[in-house]
Structure 1
Amino acid sequence: MIQLTNFWTNLVKNGEKNLDDVPDKIKSSVVNELIKLGIITDENIDAVKEAKIAEMSIVCNEIIVQGFDITLSDNQKHHFSLEVSDQLKISKLNDRANAGVTVLPYHADGEPCKFYSKDDIVTINTKMENCIEFQVTYFNSLRDYIQSMTDLNSVCNVEYGMVIPEEYQSEVLKALYAQTS
């Protein structure tokens, strides 16, 4: 990490590259090191915000991909990951279920493929949509909150899952929170 930081420090300091060229996956770590070195200051807060938003976007996506656990009509708990291909398959199965197909093949993580009932597929799809909707809505409000910040340390201390002040919660996020209360 020190070599990477020195590399980016030299490039950013010398103006040969823009901080935007740092891959999102490591941007927040690089920014934190540049802050410690005194290279990034409050004058560069927009770059810090961008790095933090990129980091939060990655975390949001990772949480979505991790998927969810659900108990189905067999009274067993099953786990479904939500890679993009999983999302598409579940959505297509839901379309088929809504078109009248009553027995649909699919598999939970680590389980063999089996037939699911129409009701189970609709339940899986609903849970998937709710998980994605919540995470994306939360991320959008978190992004707005980060963009409103004026203090470098506040931006750096943002963590995914933190409570977002109500004035930065979208109406949709407020409604989703109300549904879970």
Structure 2
Amino acid sequence: MLTNAQKNVLIHAARIRLDQGEDIREVFRSYANLSDEEKQEILSYFSLAPIGSGLEEIRSQKILELSAACRKAIEAGVTLEIDGISQRFPYSLSDGDQNNIAALFYISRATGLPQPYHCQGGSCRLYSPDQLAALYIAEEAHKAAQETYFNQLKLFILETFTKEEDIPQVKAVSYGDPLTGKYLDNYNSIAAQNQETIQVLSNP
């Protein structure tokens, strides 16, 4: 806990740096020896928002949260019915799923031969070129849809919530919330173009 003398020294130093045009919230953010409560106590003297609770911080935190949710949705992959059985195919970049599926698709298209792969929890088996094409198209379409949705939701947050009093609305945004207005129109337009591009690339 800060003594009054220590507090006064910090306030005096902060006032000097504030007068010099520095962002003292960023300055105090780097003070590892001060607790969050002590930092907030000093900042409150200048009527500044607590570190991590201003609009910019909240929007940035929310966008990071939504980005992680987008990545998780993409990597969860898609479910396809193959030979009458529903099979789940993850699409993780770090585990190599995205590169593997793309490579197998192009190899099967070039050779016309089945290629070995496996669904989630399944054993390795041969998939026909048509099956691999269906898988690749489904995964890429799903990935493009998720990325487009995230980008439009991010744009909605940045353009709609521009005042400090909007913070509760920013915090309430969740991945999966429906898009509306121009953001939905943009999503539909981009999604249609993405689907057309994927179809063209997948044709021999």
Q: Return the TM-score normalized by structure 1.
A: 0.73
- C-alpha separation between the residues in 2 aligned to 1:134 and 1:101? 29
**Residue 25 of structure 2 is aligned to residue 39 of structure 1:** no
Instruction: Write the letter of the residue equivalent to 1:75.
Output: G
Matched, 1:153 2:185: no
Could you say which residue in structure 2 is the equivalent of 1:16? 29
Provide the residue aligned with 1:6 in structure 2: none
Larger gyration radius, structure 1 or structure 2: 2
Amino acid at match of 2:105: N
State the alpha-carbon separation in 2 of the partners of residues 119 and 130 from structure 1: 16
**Aligned match of 2:66:** 56
Q: CA RMSD in A?
A: 2.3
The structure 1 segments of at least 4 consecutive aligned residues displaced by more than 4 Å after TM superposition are none
Distance, in Å, in 1 between the alignment partners of 2:157 and 2:178 is: 12
Contact 2:52 2:58 in 1 (8 A): no
Stretches of structure 1 lacking an aligned partner (at least 5 in a row) = 1-11, 19-37
What SS does the corresponding residue of 2:115 show, helix, strand or coil?
Answer: strand
Aligned-partner Cα distance in 2 for 1:131–1:53: 20
Contact 2:29/2:51, CA 8 A, preserved across alignment: no
Partners of 2:155 and 2:119 in 1: CA distance: 35
Contact 1:56 1:159 in 2 (8 A): yes
Question: What's the secondary structure of 2:126's corresponding residue?
Answer: strand
Percent identical residues: 26
Amino acid at match of 2:169: S
- 5+ residue gaps, structure 2: 1-24, 32-48, 193-204
Q: 2:111 aligns with which of 68, 81, 100?
A: 100
